[in-house]
Structure 1
Amino acid sequence: MSALVFLLGLLPAGAQAQEALADTQELIRAEVVRVVREEHIEVPGTTLQVTVQTVDARTKEGSVLTFEYDLSPKLRPGNDVIIKRTTTIEGDVYLTYQDRDRRVLLGVLGLAFASMFVLLLGKRSWRTLASLAVSLCAIFFVLVPAITAGYAPIPITIAIAGTVLALAIFMTHGFSSQGITAFAGTFLAVGVSIVLASLVVALAGFTGTGNDAAVYLNVTTRGTLDLPAVLLASIIIGMLGVLDDVAVTQAAIVEELKAANQAYRFKELYRAAMRVGRDHISALTNTLVFAYVGAALPLVLLMSLMETPLTYLVNQEMVADEIVRILVGSMGLMLAVPLTTVIAAWWWHARVPQGAPAHTHAHHKES
């Protein structure tokens, strides 16, 4: 938590002055009341046709705004939309479709997630949700503003990663033997993964512009950000959740093995826990790979339509940086299991003498 307080102190006290824009823009929420007409227009130079809808939408103040829409799926009465109204310096007003308004839907989905979480986990869920909320605040209100303000991404990301891991583990599992050994194993695995990822990013010559968002970020910040460092920071943040999960599980396995058989020594604890850990590695590696492939499915489809040799497609930065995320994340996962197991086995072997109870903290039944 001290790292979080320190990082908050790094942020600039006030926002820098921005240049005034000639045009003013305003985002307006409205509800589609009717589709005035639909036209099928052929795209010049191709045989493709697009459907252009002219739509009337009513704002909450009651005024009706008319705009054109040429995307899919088609708009229908009752759809909530966001419209951008641009007023030029000459006083001309232009209305353009911005996006569907999904805020209510996302709120309901988030509430359903929280309700299911609380229902299944009982009292412990509140600690988990609290640690998740604080961790997200650390990322969005400390890490993001610090990087955009020009601070070096890597040191800040490492500090945030340590803070997030501490919050996630200790707020959820308490400051117990299980939590301490899980945190130590995870932090060591993250440290090794950071070194590995830094080496790969440097050797591969990544520019950090492998996706559209990074390109827009570079343009918006006028090239002032270190995009390769931002890429590395994103790899670090992306691996935290899965490493936390596997480390806590391994620490719990060692603790339960020692409780079941107090005669277990260090080697026996390690070997028995690793038999379970290897299965966990297999399952989570599959989860990690499929999660990345699923997120990149449009890119995979695009690659399948190209006539370029596969080796050249894989070499492109937009693909290569995703491969690096998968491989570094999986290697960090594989490191976390033996590291956490070694630490936990040593901890329980050193702290619990033979014949003594293995549990050093009480277990309470949670509803």
Structure 2
Amino acid sequence: MNVLILLALILLVLMVWIGGKQGLRSFLSLFMNFGVFFFTLALMLNPDFDPIILTFIASALIGCISLFFINEVNRTTVIAFISTMITISLLLVFIVFVSNTLMIQGFGEEETEAISGYSLYIGIDFMKIGVSVIIMSTIGAIMDVAISIAASMQEMRKQYPLIKKTELYHSGIDIGRDLLSTDTNTLFFAFFGGYLALLIWFKDLSYSVGEIVNSKIFSSEMMLIFCAGTGIAVVIPITSWISANYLLKEDVD
């Protein structure tokens, strides 16, 4: 049996065993999100479509699948979805500005040999592709923080029905602070895990610290981590504010 199929079956069994129907929906959502990603990638190859707009639409679809398909439509998922899309919108503007300033899109000199046999005139704006890569890499972490804060604040509202709006908001901020360090470190170590071979190559080529830091590959990946961390930090107050206002307003209505 193919190893990939075997691993997929193991994952399916564990997710259904632990999560039941929700675990099954989570497993199916992996393939649905992959379909969205693959379809978006196919459209990006067409110069008539703007990669940034396609990425925003894809982010909305991924958010719907990851939140509404898995956890159904409820107060928690609606708050998390709204918070995620607001954060993605703000992050898009920030990333476009940073990308235009740093000018690190495209391939680094370390990749020259690998792409030497291909044409570089493909008619695609690599700056916009770089923005899309960052957004796609961060949307999962942003949604994770948003749903965690929204669910925790809803539970706190149930346990303390007389809690004030400011107290509920600051509780969400406190919850977000605990998530901020762990999620940021997850992104950081994911980079070093994925590019460990590259770092070893830098060492074998006797790159200095300055050469490593200024290499295009390293700089682009560090920008990804910093932008992702920025998105995680921004979604915390946004989700806390929306949750505090939405939960208390709904109870009043």
TM-score over 0.5 for the pair: yes
Distance change >3 Å, CA 207–CA 274, structure 1 → 2: closer
Pair 1:159-2:57 in alignment = yes
- The answer to which structure has the higher helix fraction is 2
Alpha carbons 2:15, 2:24 under 8 Å: kept: no
**Residue 315 in 1 paired to residue 214 in 2?**
yes
CA contact (8 A) 2:88 2:231 kept: yes
Q: How does 1:59-78 map to 2 (within 5 A)?
A: none
Question: Take 1:130 and 1:110, find their aligned partners in 2: how far apart are those partners?
Answer: 11
2:14 counterpart of 1:105: no
Distance 2:43 2:119 in 1: 16
Q: What are the superposed Cα offsets for residues 170-224 of structure 1, whole Å, 9 maximum, x if unpaired?
A: 11121111111001111111112211111111101123214749x7499357432
Separation (CA, whole Å) in 2 of partners of 1:217 and 1:111:
39
Q: Which residue matches 1:272?
A: 171
* Correspondence 1:200-219 to 2 at 5 A: 200-210=98-108, 212=111, 216=115, 219=118
How many Å apart are 1:134 and its aligned residue? 1.8
Cα distance per residue 1:95-128 (max 9 Å; x no partner): xxxxxxxx81111112111211111111111222
Once superposed, which parts of structure 1, at least 4 consecutive aligned residues long, lie more than 3 Å away? 210-213, 215-218, 305-309
Q: What is the identity, as a one-letter code, of the residue corresponding to 1:279?
A: D
Paired AA for residue 246 in structure 1: V
> Is residue 270–residue 345 contact of structure 1 (8 Å, CA) maintained in 2?
yes
Secondary structure class of the residue paired with 1:123: helix
Answer 1 or 2: which has greater strand percent: 1
Whether 1:195 aligns to 2:88 is no
Q: CA RMSD in A?
A: 2.2
Report what 1:225 is aligned to: 124
The residue number in structure 1 matching 2:133 is 234
Give the Å deviation of 1:291: 0.8
Letter in 2 for 1:271: H
Q: 1:137-175: per-residue Cα shift (whole Å, max 9, x none)?
A: 1111x2111111222211111111111112211111211
Higher relative contact order, structure no. (Cα contacts within 8 Å, ≥ 6 residues apart): 2
Q: Does 1:119 align with 2:17?
A: yes
What CA distance in whole angstroms lies between the structure 2 residues aligned with 1:172 and 1:217? Answer: 44
Identity %: 22
Counterpart for residue 28 of structure 2? 130
Identify the residue that residue 145 of structure 1 maps to in structure 2: 42
- Structure 1 stretches lacking a partner, 5+ long: 1-102, 357-367
- 1:297 corresponds to 2:196: yes
Q: 2:105 touches 2:220 (CA, 8 Å); kept in 1? A: no
What's the offset of the Cα at 1:237?
0.6
| Alignment-derived partner of residue 21 in structure 1 | none
Structure 1 pair 196–218 and aligned structure 2 pair: CA distance change class (3 A): farther
Q: Following superposition of structure 1 onto structure 2, how do residues 40-55 of structure 1 map, counting pairs within 5 Å?
A: none
Q: What is the rounded CA distance, in whole Å, between the counterparts of 1:131 and 1:344 in structure 2?
A: 25
- Residue 180 of structure 2: aligned partner: 281
- The equivalent of 1:347 in structure 2 is 246
8 Å CA contact retained: 1:178, 1:255: yes
Q: TM-score, normalised by structure 2?
A: 0.92
Distance, in Å, in 2 between the alignment partners of 1:285 and 1:325 is 11
Contact 2:76/2:147 (8 A) holds in 1:
yes
* CA distance in structure 2 between the aligned counterparts of 1:271 and 1:311, rounded to whole angstroms: 41
C-alpha displacement at 1:317, in angstroms?
0.7
2:12 and 2:24 in contact (8 A); partners too: no
Q: What amino acid is aligned across from residue 346 of structure 1 in structure 2?
A: N
Equivalent-residue separation in structure 2 for 1:148 and 1:185 (angstroms): 30
Q: Which has the larger radius of gyration?
A: 1
Distance change in 2, residues 1:221/1:144 (3 Å): farther
1:86 matched residue in structure 2: none
Aligned CA distance change for structure 1 residues 163 and 217 (closer, same or farther; 3 Å): farther
Aligned residues: 251
Structure 2 counterpart of 1:245: 144
Distance 1:325 1:218 in 2: 28
Contact 2:84 2:143 in 1 (8 A): yes
Which whole-Å deviations, capped at 9, do the CAs of 1:205-251 have from their partners, x for residues lacking one? 123214749x7499357432222211111111111111111110100
Unpaired segments of 5 or more residues in structure 2? none
Deviation of residue 302 (structure 1)?
A: 2.1
- Partner-residue secondary structure (3-state), 1:219: coil
